[in-house]
Chain A
Amino acid sequence: MSTRNRELVNLVLASVVGTAAFASVSIAASGEVSARWAGYAGVVIGLYALAHAATRATVPFADATLLPLAGLLTAIGLTVIYRLDPEDARRQVVWVALGIAVLAGTLGWLRWDYRALERYKYVFGVSAIVLLLLPSVPGLGYRVNGVKLWVKVGGLQFQPGELAKIFLIVFLAAYLRDKRESLAQGRLKDLGPLLAIWGAAMLVLVQTSDLGSALLNFGIFLAMLYAATGRALYVGAGLVLFVGGAAALYNALDRVQQRVTVWLHPWTDERIFCTINGKLEYRQNCDSYQLVKSLYSIANGGYGGTGLGKGTFETVDGTPLIPYLNTDFVYSAIAQELGLVGAAGVLLLFMVFVARGFRISLIAQDGFSKLLAAGLTFGFALQTFIIVGGVLRVVPLTGITLPFVSYGGSSILSNFVMLGLLLLVSSRATVSAGAP
């Protein structure tokens, strides 16, 4: 069976699971399978078909599991978002449709040779920094939840950080392929760029006070640096620099400080001064409110979960119990309704995606392709780790999105760009490896 036919079979499986999940939510909400269910199934299957047509036309030899995995994660995300707020789900469907268009566009534009990107590496590098700093430009950026991540132009708002991440990976893949030999020799003057990137990360951190994206971008940098040079010393030094820098800035960054405190001690036995309402409160009712409620939500799922559509997210009188459930905390909704079995299943989908991504990197022939695939895949894994780990209190909680699952346009679009790039690398690698 050809690769694309295998992809088709996988997509059929994904649409069966996705529509079954949506039927389950629909039954739980109204006691019957409503007409909306058929509409939803139709739209999702249609989008799968479009994406599949695009891969058939442009990347015939690309990995057969990446698109179905992304499709399944998107369907799961849509289902959970619909269950929480049907209005958001409608908007999300539009974003997914745009995402598929962006995917098709990326595939079509770069189908001959994506390695052309290498030539514009500095354009990508500079754009990445500009995009990262855009939210702190007065008049353009604005704060959500104390973190400057958003840019508003007219009525349009977006998170430039999501796109910046991909630009950064493209830049690093090109730059490191170029310089890996000299960097591997470890001469002092070659450490300049390392320090420059560290400085940029710190600058972005100070400007946006967003620990999450600083950690993500710097983590991607270290992983790609290691993949290119094989020098663990760089990783160690980088980590020391980052932790040291963050610690030095710690006192200046209220937001970061608060996140770390909440992470270490979410519960207090005594009432402390709460800066949110100016009263004495237990911390679980103040700063750590979100984290603690999300942990309760996860714990409530147990082994088997409450069942899709049967979870508890509001009080008896309808007040929401968990804020940002659609975006940052989408995992705690999944974990409550699907339980350990379902949540582990979703994480397994992420793991398979990551494993396939690195496989592409391993079989790719040239350094740029290898580093690009490894960087994109590691970024995908690290982003998942930072947000889900934050929700699970493994690391301090920072607001970034869960790839393909969370509600949000910027995130969906950039994830499909990333998927497109991986498919392009994969298709070429399979061809040049000689075994399509």
Chain B
Amino acid sequence: MNGQIGRVATVALLLLVSLVAATTYWQTWARPGLAERQDNEIQRVAQFEVKRGPILSPSRVLARNRPAEVRGKTLYFRRYPQGGLTAHVVGYSTVARARTGLERSLNDYLTGSVHGLSTLVDQSLDRLSGRPIVGDTVKTTLDLHGQRAALEALGSRCGAVVALDPRSGRVRVLASSPTYNPNDVERRFARIERITADCTPASPLLNRASQGLYPPGSTFKIVTATAALESKRFTPASSFVDPGYCTVYGKRVNNFDTSRPFGTVSLATALQFSVNSVFCNIGLALGAKRILAQAQEFGFYERPPLETPESERLPSGLYRDGRLYEPKRNSDVDAGRMAFGQERLLVTPLQMAMVAGAIGNAGILMRPYLVDRIVTPNGKTRRRTRPERLRRAVSPVAARDVGEMMVRAVQAGTGTAAQIGGLRIGGKTGTAETGVQGRNVTWFICFAGPEGERPELAVAVVLQNQSLTGGATAAPIARTVMQALLVPTANP
């Protein structure tokens, strides 16, 4: 009988071993996934016992802890001293509504759950001595001076501003209007629900800079012009006859101002004055797929790589029925209309800042980043962001030529409102008409830097519900932000 008993014993022990395996699974592999789930209250509550790491800008504290005694335990709730100034990037961490922004995506660092060997030792000692676990400090790249300038310039208008350093990808401004006070999320959410702005719904929680999708209008001509030059079939001097409209599938597509056709124009002049018919014809000549391929070089069709949560970053491109859509054949899309930014193209301001930045940076697209450094509680650097080249998006020659056209557009074209003395600025305006008066989406995207040097800044500004053009509405905001970031003053 002993043989049988031995086998029964083996089965019994295997059953128990499987429990060890299952416990290991839930406590290691499945752990991050479960911690992420929105209905995981344990995780939400438990994390308030951790002394969460602060989030900083180079000069100020953006998020800090406010300890409170609750039923004999010290819990650390969050305060956001800058209020709405950096709300969309920093996000919030609350009991009532979980987390957003960097508070969500960097939660593991902020709660000290990213273990190196030394942190593991430190945390074990802390635990034994009853001290709370302390999370890592996150240092962002945000420039509060520029951030404030952007939000003040946006005012009550709905829109967003992105400013980044095209040489490194360092994001200096990421502002969305209307903003909200993250300190209201926990207990005074009704205040956030009451926020109004020049658009309905005001959606203050939406990060328009990376989550807002807008028709790019004429700013997309930068992509079309780049594709045209890269195809080698056109040069800046290629000449076109502008009748004031372009014929697509037998239909006329008009210029913004049909009363004054330009006659014979070069590609450079067409970009300077944003002549739709020229780009329409280029689009028909190149085909939609070629233009979209160039757009992908700039980063379209993928979520821009930023440290914020994936759900707070949307990819740019052609959309159909609310989904990103990649045409199989050229005939699937109206290339003529797409070439000057119509035809269901939807883009984020962050993406357009990357486009302007790549042109300004001699064609090299850098990975944008918001987090400069993550520092452990005892001052060691856990992670430092090094500028990373995403890819060469444009050849140096084409980048130089398109950049030159953009400079002319600011010097004597549609973007003159963005001029700043002593700076070389290349920009492009955009006005996407929705067909309803006073409902235009207006744009200005540009790069800027001191004369004779590499551009130090790329900016994208978008505004909703405008009745004037991008040159009149968005360009002045870009100018204000550039002044705040590039003109030396007493920066805080």
B22 touches A27 (CB 8 A): no
Q: Please classify the interface of chain B as helix (H, G, I), strand (E, B), loop, or mixed, using the class held by over half of its residues.
A: helix
CB distance from B291 to the nearest CB of A (A): 37
Per the bound structure, the CA–CA distance linking A105 and B446 in Å amounts to: 90
A295, A304, A318, A381: which contacts B15 (Cβ < 8 A)? Answer: A381
B43 touches A394 (CB 8 A): no
Residues of B near A28 (CB, < 8 A) are 130
B34 touches A296 (CB 8 A): yes
Docked complex: B39-73 residues within 8 A CB-CB of A: 39-43, 45-46, 48-49, 70-72
B333 at interface by CB-CB < 8 Å: no
B223 at interface by CB-CB < 8 Å: no
Docked complex: A289-317 residues within 8 A CB-CB of B: 292-293, 295-304, 306-307, 310-316
A410 at interface by CB-CB < 8 Å: no
B23 touches A307 (CB 8 A): no
Per the bound structure, the CA–CA distance linking A313 and B73 in Å amounts to: 13
Closest Cβ neighbor of B11 among chain A residues = A223
Q: Chain B CB within 10 Å — which of A228, A282, A296, A393 has the most? A: A296
A223, A299, A370, A374: which contacts B34 (Cβ < 8 A)? Answer: A299
Per the bound structure, the CA–CA distance linking A259 and B95 in Å amounts to: 31
Per the bound structure, the CA–CA distance linking A229 and B8 in Å amounts to: 12
Query: How many A-B pairs fall under 8 Å by CB?
Result: 160
B8 touches A321 (CB 8 A): no
CB distance from A28 to the nearest CB of B (A): 8
A362 touches B8 (CB 8 A): no
Q: Please classify the interface of chain A as helix (H, G, I), strand (E, B), loop, or mixed, using the class held by over half of its residues.
A: helix
Per the bound structure, the CA–CA distance linking A295 and B18 in Å amounts to: 16
B7 at interface by CB-CB < 8 Å: yes
Residues of A near B72 (CB, < 8 A) are 29
A43 at interface by CB-CB < 8 Å: no
Docked complex: A264-291 residues within 8 A CB-CB of B: 267, 282, 284-285
A384 at interface by CB-CB < 8 Å: yes
B8 touches A227 (CB 8 A): yes
Closest Cβ neighbor of B127 among chain A residues = A307
Q: Interface stretch among A68-76, A107-115, A155-163, A336-344?
A: A336-344
B5 touches A358 (CB 8 A): yes
Closest Cβ neighbor of B41 among chain A residues = A321
Q: A351-B13, A384-B19 are in contact. Are A296 and B42 (CB under 8 A)?
A: yes
Per the bound structure, the CA–CA distance linking A316 and B77 in Å amounts to: 11
Q: A230-B3, A316-B70, A370-B1 are in contact. Are A354 and B23 (CB under 8 A)?
A: no
A336, A340, A348: which contacts B24 (Cβ < 8 A)? Answer: A340
* Interface residues on chain B, size class: 35 or more
A-facing mask of B1-42, CB < 8 A → 1, else 0? 111111111011101111110111011101100110101111
B75 at interface by CB-CB < 8 Å: yes
Residues of B near A303 (CB, < 8 A) are 27-28
A217 at interface by CB-CB < 8 Å: no
B247 at interface by CB-CB < 8 Å: no
Per the bound structure, the CA–CA distance linking A312 and B15 in Å amounts to: 29
B7 touches A377 (CB 8 A): no
Per the bound structure, the CA–CA distance linking A378 and B18 in Å amounts to: 15
Residues of B near A122 (CB, < 8 A) are none
B4, B23, B24: which contacts A226 (Cβ < 8 A)? Answer: B4
Closest Cβ neighbor of B27 among chain A residues = A340
Q: A299-B34, A340-B27, A355-B13 are in contact. Are A226 and B19 (CB under 8 A)?
A: no
A374 touches B24 (CB 8 A): no
B16 touches A344 (CB 8 A): no
A385 at interface by CB-CB < 8 Å: yes
Per the bound structure, the CA–CA distance linking A12 and B22 in Å amounts to: 32
B18 touches A31 (CB 8 A): no
Residues of A near B95 (CB, < 8 A) are 315-316
Q: Chain B CB within 10 Å — which of A299, A311, A358 has the most? A: A299
Residues of B near A212 (CB, < 8 A) are none
Q: A227-B4, A316-B48 are in contact. Are A296 and B43 (CB under 8 A)?
A: yes
Residues of A near B71 (CB, < 8 A) are 318
Q: A227-B8, A303-B27 are in contact. Are A381 and B13 (CB under 8 A)?
A: yes
Q: A298-B26, A340-B28 are in contact. Are A312 and B8 (CB under 8 A)?
A: no
B35 touches A299 (CB 8 A): yes
Q: A223-B8, A296-B34, A389-B18 are in contact. Are A302 and B27 (CB under 8 A)?
A: yes
Residues of B near A422 (CB, < 8 A) are none
Residues of A near B2 (CB, < 8 A) are 362, 370
B5, B18, B23, B113: which contacts A362 (Cβ < 8 A)? Answer: B5
Q: A293-B42, A304-B124 are in contact. Are A299 and B30 (CB under 8 A)?
A: yes
9 nearest A-B pairs in the assembled complex, by CB-CB distance:
A358-B9, A381-B12, A312-B46, A392-B22, A385-B15, A299-B34, A340-B27, A296-B42, A299-B31
Sampled A-B contacts (11; CB under 8 Å): A223-B12, A227-B8, A299-B30, A304-B127, A307-B127, A318-B71, A351-B13, A354-B9, A392-B23, A392-B26, A394-B19
Beyond A300-B35, A302-B28, A374-B8, list 17 extra A-B contacts (CB 8 Å): A226-B4, A229-B4, A296-B42, A296-B43, A302-B31, A307-B127, A312-B42, A314-B45, A315-B41, A316-B70, A321-B41, A340-B24, A348-B20, A354-B13, A362-B2, A381-B12, A394-B19
Residues in chain A within 8 A of chain B (CB atoms): 27-29, 31, 223, 226-230, 267, 282, 284-285, 292-293, 295-304, 306-307, 310-316, 318, 321, 335-336, 339-340, 343-344, 347-348, 350-351, 354-355, 358, 361-362, 367, 370, 374, 377-378, 381-382, 384-385, 388-389, 392-394
Residues in chain B within 8 A of chain A (CB atoms): 1-9, 11-13, 15-20, 22-24, 26-28, 30-31, 34-35, 37, 39-43, 45-46, 48-49, 70-72, 75, 95, 113, 124, 127, 130
